[in-house]
Structure 1
Amino acid sequence: MSVTLDLSRMAPQADAPKPLINLSGLTRPQMVAALTESGVVEHGKAKMRATQIFRWVHHRGITDFAQMSDVAKETRARLADSFTIARPEVVERQVSKDGTRKWLIRMAPGIEVETVYIPSVGRVGALCVSSQVGCTLNCSFCHTGTQALVRNLTAAEIVAQVQIAKDDLGEWPSDKDDRLLSNIVFMGMGEPLYNMGQVADAIEIISDNEGIAISRRRITVSTSGVVPQLEALGEKTQAMLAISLHATNDALRDVLVPLNKKYPLNQLMAGIRAYPGLSNARRVTFEYVMLKGVNDSPDEARALVKLIKGIPAKVNLIPFNPWPGTDYQCSDWAAIETFAAILNRAGYSSPIRTPRGRDILAACGQLKSESEKVRASAMRKLSMAAMAGVLDEDEDEAAA
């Protein structure tokens, strides 16, 4: 005997609610378009309304449409039905004895990132933000680089890292005279140039004078050398450029930074020389991690001088921070000082980066996100490198 199941009387399932658009991740032109397309604001008033909302979100730091006192109540209600300006959840907050702050931020289920604020960097303090969850580069000296790529962060998720730092630092409104956050560095997890569109939008939002208003000359993007995207980075963002270099020849850099196999040094250096806006006032920063017996000899220092000859540049020397399982060791202090002296005599500023936040596991390159089961779900904990010493004093004066 066969049985036929009659489904005709079953109540239809309700469609899943449409996710709210996060206005925090929209540039002002994008916000105008979103407001118009949603029907919340009529076309003729969209530009004016977008400027109002933008200032409330990015200048005042508010997280609730109801607080927008110069917007009609009916409009506020319609905005809340279609959009959000809420912050992601701060899962954990830590403060180092040296003043470094670290936040573990849950962007979405299973998507958690760490953001680090480093005081006394740049003008007064720098925020190190991530552009991806995980990384594809597998740099052999970097613990964070061993985390598999999960996904790109959205512009809203990048901007949220800045907003959360400003919340904790008491940085609202954004035009405070005694601000503690002056610089943004894209030196956390991920390769920013593999997420160019979202990074560029985030920089436009962060630098907009109607909002957070951090100058593009105080925003630095660090790349391991995605050469085809260098020109676009300069043209779209006008950000300061940093290069994760670490070696002066292809054979060694192929090991330390495997991306070099795709874009070797001759291509990378040509791309850097052509970077839009590069000048003595807008120098490129070369990042160079000091590895004992690997890349720290006087001969390597002289080779570095030859490699970057003619490029307006500074070199940040980064003492290696060991992590479990690595075979690398930090160079002896005397070797680092000798290396720096050779660069200085050649006319290149070469500050030795002081490790920050070691006691809260926020030092450069030490950390890696781990996967663990929580309520039967894989919750990825992202850790990233907190990068200090981005701007030296003369660059900071030029950026003022």
Structure 2
Amino acid sequence: MGLMRKRRGEWSWSERGRITAASSMAIHPFSFSSVPSTSISSPPLTTHSLFPHSFSNARSLSISAAATLQSSLSPTPAEGQENSGIPMKGSKVLLKGMRYHELEKWVQSHGYRPAQALMLWKRLYGNNIWAHYNEEMEGLNKDFKGMLAEHAEFKALHFKDMLTASDGTKKILFTLDDGLVIETVIIPCRRGRTTVCVSSQVGCAMNCQFCYTGRMGLKRNLSAAEIVEQAVFARRLLSREVGTITNVVFMGMGEPLHNIENVIKAADILVDEHGLHFSPRKVTISTSGLVPQIRRFLKESNCALAVSLNATTDEVRNWVMPINRKYNLRLLLDMLREELCLKHNYKVLFEYVMLAGVNDSIEDAKRLIELVQGIPCKINLISFNPHSGSQFKPTSEEKMIQFRNILAEAGCVIFLRLSRGDDQMAACGQLGKPGEIQAPVLKVPAKFQTAVEASA
């Protein structure tokens, strides 16, 4: 029995005003609801069950509705799994849904040596093979290949289309076995760094008001295999064209920590030293602020964490990010102060989407400085990317720079991220395709009516 292994163009400004190259990762979109899938065995939760009011009436989400909506946040078990937890696709084992030690045990259960498991693992994730088919298993024992053909499935996704933006950003559309579609974004950067932005859900349950994916509601969680294969497929398809893919960000469709079991498992597979071998610090999990799940993530994973803040008062955050009604700013930030004291040399990345007239004032900048005191962090200022039905407009570049300078003068480390891929709806908050039934647009607080009307 083998031993089990546990895996653990923009610029940045600091207090001295130095400029260093920064990653151009894509922020994840967010939203609110839940329905069944091949990876969820719990009873169906429809968008209507999570939103008592009709989506078409655009009424404000009430506090009771928010409470109902929170009940969907508990993890759901994956459907189609054996008692051992081995992921299945029909009658076959789904190879990319297993950590290495699970794959090793499965291989041994069929009478083969652990060395065969390692050879298989390297063909799935390493040696520039990234295998999708049994025919790509050169070098493996003939009988072993026959067993794989009979009992194993290599692919979890089906390539549908790829769109290329004017700045070189690429958006890949994948069809799932149940016919649903997800989107993955590849972001080439300067200095040989390329980032793959993966989705963790079909749609999203958070209903963040600035996010296009939020209009969809949540269709279902992705399995670990469906998450991992986005990165595998990106390397397989684009490594020759864009170079080595060095970073993974869980900032595509969905709220990653709403699907925490599969996200942590996928992250473990991504950083395995015998396979894809991404550095844990270059695999970033983004969240809208699910406090219990953040605690668990920080204890179980060494991957990086990004928290979408996007407001400096509960009044604004309750509006633009309804999750704040459950986990408000004080609860979220106090938890981070407490937990990060236990992690050595670890910084959280705060994401801050700048919305003109809503969260971009000088007073907001000063409040943000106070909010993050005592938290080892970096702050990512993100330009809002407009989309159909949006209530907001982007903060001007001049005002973003002014906001950045206030933070930098206070000693904060700041990244300023401009749009990438927006002409193909591949930028932050633009992924997905809402249907006829959409999550509700929440009531605008009176003090921001003027700003929103100006945007319209």
The normalised TM-score by structure 1 is 0.82
In structure 2, C-alpha distance between the alignment counterparts of 1:365 and 1:70, rounded to whole Å? 44
In the alignment, structure 1 residue 324 sits paired with structure 2 residue 394: no
Note the residue ranges of structure 2 that are not aligned, 5 or more in a row.
1-88, 437-456
Q: State the shift of 1:122 in Å.
A: 8.8
Output one character per residue of 1:84-131: Cα deviation in whole Å (capped at 9) or x when no partner: 113522110112221111100112132210100111179601111111
Q: State the shift of 1:171 in Å.
A: 6.1
Selected match of 1:22 from 91, 94, 97: 94
In structure 2, C-alpha distance between the alignment counterparts of 1:314 and 1:24, rounded to whole Å? 33
SS in 2 for 1:184: strand
Alignment of 1:275-354 (within 5 A): 275=339, 281-354=345-418
Q: Percent identity over the alignment? A: 37
Question: What's 2:111 paired with?
Answer: 41
Distance change in 2, residues 1:201/1:345 (3 Å): same
SS in 1 for 2:132: coil
Distance change in 2, residues 1:361/1:164 (3 Å): same
Q: Which moved more, 1:188-197 or 1:120-129?
A: 120-129
Q: State the shift of 1:153 in Å.
A: 0.3
Q: State the shift of 1:254 in Å.
A: 0.6
Q: State the shift of 1:142 in Å.
A: 1.2
User: Is the 8 Å Cα contact of residues 385 and 427 (structure 2) preserved in structure 1?
Assistant: yes
Selected match of 2:152 from 80, 83, 108: 83
User: Is the 8 Å Cα contact of residues 127 and 181 (structure 1) preserved in structure 2?
Assistant: yes
User: Is the 8 Å Cα contact of residues 66 and 73 (structure 1) preserved in structure 2?
Assistant: no
Give 2:378's aligned amino acid: K
Question: What's 1:61 paired with?
Answer: 130
The normalised TM-score by structure 2 is 0.72
Note the residue ranges of structure 1 that are not aligned, 5 or more in a row.
1-16, 173-177, 373-400
Distance change in 2, residues 1:181/1:113 (3 Å): same
In structure 1, C-alpha distance between the alignment counterparts of 2:389 and 2:171, rounded to whole Å? 24
Distance change in 2, residues 1:207/1:121 (3 Å): farther
Distance change in 2, residues 1:283/1:323 (3 Å): same
Q: State the shift of 1:279 in Å.
A: 6.5
Question: What's 1:119 paired with?
Answer: 188
Q: State the shift of 1:203 in Å.
A: 0.7
In structure 2, C-alpha distance between the alignment counterparts of 1:121 and 1:245, rounded to whole Å? 27
Q: State the shift of 1:140 in Å.
A: 1.1
Higher relative CO (CA 8 A, sep ≥ 6), structure 1 or 2?
2
SS in 2 for 1:356: coil
Q: State the shift of 1:141 in Å.
A: 1.4
Q: State the shift of 1:290 in Å.
A: 0.8
Distance change in 2, residues 1:143/1:66 (3 Å): closer
Question: What's 2:248 paired with?
Answer: 184
Q: State the shift of 1:36 in Å.
A: 3.8
Alignment of 1:340-379 (within 5 A): 340-371=404-435
Selected match of 2:327 from 234, 241, 263: 263
Alignment of 1:150-161 (within 5 A): 150-161=219-230
Q: State the shift of 1:62 in Å.
A: 1.8
Selected match of 1:225 from 281, 289, 292: 289
Selected match of 2:270 from 173, 197, 206: 206
User: Is the 8 Å Cα contact of residues 123 and 183 (structure 1) preserved in structure 2?
Assistant: no
Selected match of 1:99 from 165, 168, 181: 168
In structure 2, C-alpha distance between the alignment counterparts of 1:235 and 1:171, rounded to whole Å? 37
Q: Which moved more, 1:59-68 or 1:337-346?
A: 59-68
Give 1:266's aligned amino acid: R
In structure 1, C-alpha distance between the alignment counterparts of 2:392 and 2:278, rounded to whole Å? 37
Count of equivalent residues: 347
Selected match of 1:131 from 200, 206, 223: 200
Give 1:286's aligned amino acid: F
Q: State the shift of 1:67 in Å.
A: 3.3
User: Is the 8 Å Cα contact of residues 244 and 286 (structure 1) preserved in structure 2?
Assistant: yes
RMSD: 2.2
Question: What's 2:213 paired with?
Answer: 144
In structure 2, C-alpha distance between the alignment counterparts of 1:134 and 1:324, rounded to whole Å? 16
User: Is the 8 Å Cα contact of residues 253 and 431 (structure 2) preserved in structure 1?
Assistant: no
Q: State the shift of 1:326 in Å.
A: 1.9
Q: Which moved more, 1:294-303 or 1:272-281?
A: 272-281
Question: What's 1:247 paired with?
Answer: 311
In structure 1, C-alpha distance between the alignment counterparts of 2:192 and 2:435, rounded to whole Å? 37
Q: State the shift of 1:63 in Å.
A: 2.1
Give 2:115's aligned amino acid: M
Q: State the shift of 1:139 in Å.
A: 0.7
Output one character per residue of 1:184-236: Cα deviation in whole Å (capped at 9) or x when no partner: 00111111111111111111111011011101110111101110111211222
In structure 2, C-alpha distance between the alignment counterparts of 1:71 and 1:168, rounded to whole Å? 23
Question: What's 2:337 paired with?
Answer: 273
Q: Which moved more, 1:158-167 or 1:275-284?
A: 275-284
Q: Which moved more, 1:152-161 or 1:53-62?
A: 53-62
In structure 1, C-alpha distance between the alignment counterparts of 2:435 and 2:389, rounded to whole Å? 18
Question: What's 2:32 paired with?
Answer: none
In structure 2, C-alpha distance between the alignment counterparts of 1:350 and 1:102, rounded to whole Å? 27
Q: State the shift of 1:144 in Å.
A: 1.1
User: Is the 8 Å Cα contact of residues 321 and 365 (structure 1) preserved in structure 2?
Assistant: yes
In structure 2, C-alpha distance between the alignment counterparts of 1:97 and 1:312, rounded to whole Å? 36
Question: What's 1:390 paired with?
Answer: none
Question: What's 1:7 paired with?
Answer: none
In structure 2, C-alpha distance between the alignment counterparts of 1:153 and 1:250, rounded to whole Å? 31
Question: What's 1:32 paired with?
Answer: 104
Distance change in 2, residues 1:192/1:278 (3 Å): farther
In structure 1, C-alpha distance between the alignment counterparts of 2:389 and 2:243, rounded to whole Å? 40
User: Is the 8 Å Cα contact of residues 278 and 284 (structure 1) preserved in structure 2?
Assistant: no
Who wins on radius of gyration, i.e. which is larger? 1
Output one character per residue of 1:336-376: Cα deviation in whole Å (capped at 9) or x when no partner: 1111011000111222211011221111113431449xxxx
